[in-house]
Amino acid sequence: MNLKSFGIAAAVAAVAGLAVLPSAGAHFVPTTMTTPLTGTSIGAPAKNTTYFCPRTIMGISFPMTLKNPATPWVSGKAVSVAGAEALKVPGSVKMKHTFSIRKTATTRILKGNGIPNHAIGEYPVPSDSAAYAYYSPLPVQGYANAAEIPVKPYDMSLTVPRNPKVQSKPTCIESLAIGISPQTGAAMHTEIAVDSDFTAVSPSAALPYDRCWGHPYATQYHYHGYTWKCLPNKGKDGEPSPLYAYAADGFGIYGPYSEGKSGSAVTGSTQKVITNAQLDQCHGHYGTVKWDGKKKYMYHYHVNNEYPYSVGCFRGKVGKMSKVMAELGT
């Protein structure tokens, strides 16, 4: 049996046996991630999808409905985490990391080189890895295929309001970059990609990542799906999840355990992960969270294991990104 066949067999086995979520602990470790079915629109704000700004790439209009890929770790709407990780990009590569956050009276400025403070997979994707078969068919500008894309430092810069305001209408996602994690100094990207047929797909259903659910696009390393896999502070049992990232509009992206109606998480064995049914069309809601060291009732986003996993559209005004970030996917 060759490496690809072995990896696919492992993924299929994982899909078949992973339908039950684990009990609550210090943090949520998903066994499955839901993915949208073929035909799901990305052209308007709605729950369980992404509101993606229309665009034309190389003279072709970007497809505004999603396709559910036929990959071995996907079964219907379920993405098997173990199945995807069975085919993950191998390696443990440590690169030079720089990151800082500076606050003024009105703004928050996040700057770094885009390289996380943890080891990442080996990029370009090794040709003898199981992951190579999924990247190599994808055409990209500047490289023979997507498997050849390396990870390089870049100008990761985002300036957002320190106290963002909710706008009257949701804003569609323009750049692929939707936020930055202050815990690792790496970016989060929206859950939209295209396959070799220029069909829109959820990348978490179409591609395996490295051990931290990250990979490069345009040489910029970023997270998808299970974005909190390698965060050093995922939270404590019985408490609301801490801040995982700052969204591109300045609002916080918090972990999967909600603060609850009274401002405190449901504790003990009854602690439950927040669901899309409890969130709005942008994957957020109002609640009391820790913000700049103090408790504050405000709008914020959450991550969970239901598509789009984090920000689905923006409720605030998107801040100023560096040129290389702002142009991602446009």
- State the Cα–Cα distance between residues 84 and 208, nearest whole angstrom: 5
300-316: per-residue pLDDT in tens? 999 999 999 999 999 99
Whether residue 222 lies inside any domain: the answer is: yes
Whether residue 242 lies inside any domain: the answer is: no
The pLDDT value recorded for residue 108 is 98
Query: What amino acid occupies position 216?
Result: P
Contact of 228 with 102, CB cutoff 8 Å: no
Whether residue 138 lies inside any domain: the answer is: yes
The pLDDT value recorded for residue 58 is 78
Cα-flanking dihedrals φ and ψ of residue 148, to 5°? -85, -5
Whether residue 15 lies inside any domain: the answer is: yes
Contact of 299 with 166, CB cutoff 8 Å: yes
Whether residue 140 lies inside any domain: the answer is: yes
Whether residue 260 lies inside any domain: the answer is: no
The pLDDT value recorded for residue 270 is 56
Cis amide prior to 124 (ω within 30 degrees): yes
- Is a pLDDT exceeding 50 seen at residue 265? no
Whether residue 262 lies inside any domain: the answer is: no
- State the Cα–Cα distance between residues 120 and 89, nearest whole angstrom: 9
Q: What number is the average pLDDT over the span 319-323?
A: 98
Based on the structure, what is the number of domains in the chain? 1
Q: What number is the average pLDDT over the span 47-65?
A: 94
180-235: per-residue pLDDT in tens? 999 999 999 999 999 999 999 999 999 999 999 999 999 999 999 999 999 999 99
The pLDDT value recorded for residue 261 is 52
Cis amide prior to 63 (ω within 30 degrees): no
Q: What number is the average pLDDT over the span 1-18?
A: 35
83-122: per-residue pLDDT in tens? 999 999 999 999 999 999 999 999 999 999 999 999 999 9
Looking at the chain, the whole-number percentage of residues with pLDDT higher than 90 is 82
- Is a pLDDT exceeding 70 seen at residue 10? no
| Parent domain of 217 | 3-232+318-326
Q: What is the pTM of this model?
A: 0.91
Which pLDDT band, with edges at 50, 70 and 90, does 21 fall under?
very low
148-161: per-residue pLDDT in tens? 999 999 999 999 99
The pLDDT value recorded for residue 276 is 96
- Is a pLDDT exceeding 60 seen at residue 71? yes
Which pLDDT band, with edges at 50, 70 and 90, does 259 fall under?
confident
The pLDDT value recorded for residue 330 is 82
The CA-CA-CA angle for residues 67, 68, 73, to 5°, reads 150
Structure tokens, 216 = 């490069």
> Number of C-alpha atoms within 13 angstroms, CB side, residue 280?
15
Structure tokens, 330 = 């446009």
33-55: per-residue pLDDT in tens? 999 999 999 999 999 999 999 99
- Is a pLDDT exceeding 50 seen at residue 176? yes
Query: What amino acid occupies position 5?
Result: S
The pLDDT value recorded for residue 32 is 97
Whether residue 23 lies inside any domain: the answer is: yes
The CA-CA-CA angle for residues 126, 132, 136, to 5°, reads 115
- State the Cα–Cα distance between residues 127 and 135, nearest whole angstrom: 10
4: buried, middle or exposed (CB in 10 Å: 19+, 13-18, 0-12)?
A: middle
